[in-house]
Amino acid sequence: MVGSSSLSTRAIKKDKMRIGSYIKDSFDELLHKVTWPTWEELQNSAVVVAIASLIIALIIFLMDTVFSKLMELFYDFF
């Protein structure tokens, strides 16, 4: 039994070392290897997303309105 507990202790230490290495490598990659957008690029992207959201909302509104009118016509027959 003593051997199994020391093996599990070694496995835990190995896992902690692996997790620590992973976090360190990830942090290093985020700082040195990732190309971050400039403030101007972020603003331009935000404008594109806002315009696309408005267009999609308008399309959904029109579809809802047309469907609502069609349902009113359908129910008027009964």
- CA distances to 14, 65, 74 from 52, in Å: 49, 20, 33
Residue-wise pLDDT for 51-77, tens only, equals 999 999 999 999 999 999 999 999 998
Q: Are 45 and 37 in contact (CB under 8 A)?
A: yes
For 26-41, the pLDDT digits (tens) are: 999 999 999 999 999 9
Single-letter amino acid code for the residue at 51? I
Which of the two residues, 4 and 55, has the higher pLDDT score? 55
Residue 33 three-state SS = coil
Mean residue pLDDT across the chain:
87
* DSSP secondary structure letter of residue 78: -
Higher-pLDDT residue of 18, 37: 37
Question: What is the residue type of 31?
Answer: L
User: Is the pLDDT assigned to residue 7 strictly greater than 90?
Assistant: no
